[in-house]
Every structure is written in structure tokens, then in C-alpha cells.
Chains A and B, each alone.
Chain A
Amino acid sequence: MFKLIKDTLLSQAVTLWGVFRKLFVKADTVQYPDEPPYMFPRWRGRIILSRDPDGEERCVACNLCAVACPVDCIALQKTETEDGRWYPEFFRINFSRCIMCGFCEEACPTNAIQLTPDFEMAEYERQDMVWEKEDLLIDGVGKYHDYNFYRVAGKQVAGKDKGEALNEAQPVDVRSLLP
């Protein structure tokens, strides 16, 4: 009998009192549009294409992000400059399909595609959610300040010959007998 009263009445009363005390606790709510919330730098929001420290496009149009994308929202076409530098002819992200999973960022070998803490991307027209390269490309380096793909890769472009990349050995001279 005592246990019954304890289970049915006392425990309920304790719960009620515990919840009642919350009346005097400050609310956790952030009044969003008036009071901007703190966004973490690694928040996965709007996607951008970054540039390397020299101001060139980082993207080499390898299509790995488009392959990794689970909802197939990335579309791009590769093209080349005359000196052999690869870049996308167009780069299109359909943000009405994008789920902000960040797989593209993980797949990217040149740190070109990055997710930013911006999430305010509402539009009245669905077509306005499709962003082209001009909309995506920023003038900065994003999260990786010093990385420059062409400076570390062996690919030969204008102003950098074979063997001039960072930590790269000179190419083997097959016509020489020296070791």
C-alpha cells in the first residue's frame, strides 16, 4: 500500500515540482533573426569553390565530388587552358537537391570545394536555387590558407616546369648513365 502511494502519488509530485522549478530557469532559446546564433566554423552549410593563394581556381574538374554526391546535385564539365591547367568549363550545384552532407568536400583532392557556415538560402523560385560557377566561386582561400595544388603536384603548367614543385625530385634523365 505504501509502495503504491509512493509510486502513484509521490513520484508524480516530485516530477511536477521538478518541472515547476524550470519556471525560474533562463530559457535556452536564441531569438534567431534578432540574435544571430554562433555558427561553428566547420558547420556544413552553403557550398563554395575557393581559389589558391595565387588567385587561381583550385578546382581541377576531376569530377570526384560529382561522383561522391549521394543526391547527384553537382554537375561540371572539364576544360583546359593552353598551358595545360585543368579547370571546369561550368560548375553547377542544385541547392534544392543538396543535403549538405559534405561528401564532396571530403572527396575533393585539391580542397577546392568547401562547405561554409552560411545556411540562409531561401528563394521564391526553385530555379534560383541552382547556382553556377560565378555564384559559387569566391576570391579567398577558404579554410586552407596555404594549399596550392599546382605547387605540390607534378603537373607541368605555365611558370612551373617538371621537377620544380615542392618536394619534387628532378625527373630521371633516361639518356644519362649517372645514378
Chain B
Amino acid sequence: MFSFAVGSALSIASILLVVVALAAMLIWVERRLLGFWQERLGPNRVGWFGILQVVADMIKIFTKEDWVPPFADKFTFVLAPAIIMIVVLMSFAVIPFTPEVGVIDSNVGVLFVLAMASLGAYSVMLGGLSSNNKYALLGSLRAAAQMVSYEVFMGISLLGVVVLSGSFNLREIVETQADGWYILPQCIGFLIFLIAGVAESHRLPFDIPEAEQEICAGYHTEYSGMKFGMFFVGEYLGLVLISSLITVLFFGGWLGPAFLPPIVWFSLKAGVFIAFFILMRAALPRPRYDQLMSYGWLFLLPLSLVNLLITGAVVLGTM
């Protein structure tokens, strides 16, 4: 019982704990890194190097008044933040962290992640719709269009990897990368997946649904207390999820030279991508809404289709 194996209680509990704790810690990591990249220090007062800032924030957010606006649709309003947490945590079920650590070994892992990502759109949409607020509604309209569109390219850009590995199982995808990571043959697919991943977790520069400077805070304008906290942690969980997925699909998951254990390799690779996402937030400006849409449909969609076509042709030709 107390040994790591795919699906064991210990494995599931440690994944759940580590992932949620990591997402909370990321709030501090992100603020610190953003500080360094903007030539300031970031939070460094609470605890060692400000590491207890997270605890302080948590105490604040837990003890805040949990307010539901009287004009809101209460059922939906309460439901919305729960959806994003559930959906993102469910997605972690199929991620193979190491050969031993994982929750399930699904034959449709890639599709499962895509399904959960598409359900994540409801959280944002219902949150905005139930708030009964114009800014929130605008935010959720934007979120709906953005997430439905970018889901398409996300799925198609993954299919190149699926064609090469011949499996929808994420664990098998990692194992087939033993003789070469898929970043080399699938560099276009990787780029598209990266962009779509940012758009899907609506992080900057694609945080159009919650653009503070344009529409207040978008879909979570009316949220406060722990309900807002769940949206917040859900966003960071999404960040961890996208980084893990990139690691698994394109960078060989836990594979690496044997002097480090597999979990360290996985965390290192995922950590690099988390840092990269934060760097994108620090550096890149937000595109306009129609630019995002036309960029997706007119540039990324054809590119991902061509990528899939060429990959398929090459695989057929070498078979």
C-alpha cells in the first residue's frame, strides 16, 4: 500500500497534494520572477525571501467575506469556480509523472485532457454569465470564443505526436520518445501547442477574457474570497498542466540521463516551461481580440493542418 505504483493511494494523494501546493507556491514564484524581470524585487518580506507570502495570502483569502451578489444567479455563481478546479485536477489524472507515479493509465489520455480542457470553458462562461454584470459578460463572451477556437488547434497540433507514436496513451507516448524527443520532428506542432496552451489557460499575453485594463477583471469581476481564490489557483493549475503536457508530449517526460531520478527530470523540464510562461507574461503585450481570432483561424489552423498532413505522409512513406 505504501509504495508508489500507478493508481496506488499513495501516488494519487501525493500527486494531489504536490500539484495543489505547487500551484499555490507558483503565486509567489511568479511574482518574484516578474519582479526580477521588471528590475524590481517582488515580495521578499514575509518569511525567507518572501516564501511565506503564499501563507499570508491564503489566510487573507480564506478569512475574507464570501459574498454572493444579490443580483447573481446563485446556483451557477457557486458552481463556476468549482468547475475549473475539478476539471484541471481531473486532467492531472492521466499525466505520467514517472514510470511509477500516475493515477490512471488511460488509452485515451490525450483525448481525456482535451475533453477536460473543453469543459474548463464552462467555468469561465458560467462565472461571467451568472455574475449579471456587463464586464463579466463581455469577459465570458471573449473566453467562449477564444477557448472554443484554440481548442481546435490544440487538438490538431497534438495529433502529429499521436501519429508518430501511434498511441493516445500519454505513458506510451513518453516511452516511444526513448530514441528521440518529438520536439525535433514536431517543432511546428510544439509551437502551435504552446500558443494554444497559453490561450487555453487564458494566461498573458492571451488573457483577453480577464483583461484588467479593458474590462475590469472580466469574468471574475464579481468574485471575492475563496471563490476568486479557486479561479486563481485553477489558473495556476492550468499553467502546471500545460507545462507538464508539453514535457510529456514533446520533451520526453521523465526520460533523461540516469544520474538524476525520473521525477527530477520531469520537474526540471516542466519548471523550465513554467518559467517560460511567466517570462511571456512579463514580456509580451496583449493582442487585440480580433487579432487573436484571425491569427488563430487564418494562420494557426492551416499551419497545424499542414503539419499533420506532412507528418502523416512521412509516417506512411517510411512504414
Q: B-contacting residues of A (Cβ < 8 Å)?
A: 4, 8-9, 12, 15-16, 18-20, 22-23, 25-29, 31
Contact = CB atoms under 8 A, between A and B. Distances in A.
A74 B38 CA distance: 41
Nearest first, the 10 closest Cβ-Cβ pairs linking A and B are A19-B283, A29-B41, A29-B40, A15-B283, A16-B283, A22-B37, A27-B41, A19-B37, A28-B39, A27-B40
Given A4-B299, A8-B295, A8-B299, A16 B279 contact: yes
A22 B38 contact: yes
Contact of A27 (B39, B282, B283): B39
Contact of B283 (A9, A18, A29): A18
Nearest to B285: A15
B39 A25 contact: yes
Interface centre among A25, A26, A29 (most CB of B within 10 A): A29
B284 A22 contact: no
Q: Sort chain B's interface into a size bin.
A: 10 to 19
B7 to A, nearest CB: 39
A23 B37 contact: yes
Given A4-B299, A8-B295, A27-B35, A16 B40 contact: no
B49 interface: no
A26 B40 CA distance: 8
A26 B36 CA distance: 9
Contact of A20 (B37, B40, B284, B295): B37
Contacts of B38: 22
Contacts of A20: 37, 279, 283
14 contacts: A4-B299, A9-B191, A15-B283, A15-B284, A16-B280, A19-B282, A20-B37, A20-B283, A22-B39, A23-B37, A26-B39, A27-B35, A27-B36, A31-B41
Contact of A16 (B36, B191, B284, B299): B284
A12 to B, nearest CB: 6
Interface in B27-43: 35-41
Contacts of B36: 22-23, 27
Residue among B39, B40, B280 with the most chain A CB within 10 A?
A: B39
Contacts of B282: 19
Interface in B258-292: 279-280, 282-284
A26 B38 CA distance: 10
A33 to B, nearest CB: 10
Given A8-B299, A12-B283, A19-B279, 15 more contacts: A4-B299, A9-B191, A12-B284, A15-B284, A16-B280, A16-B284, A18-B283, A19-B37, A20-B279, A20-B283, A22-B37, A23-B37, A25-B39, A28-B39, A29-B40
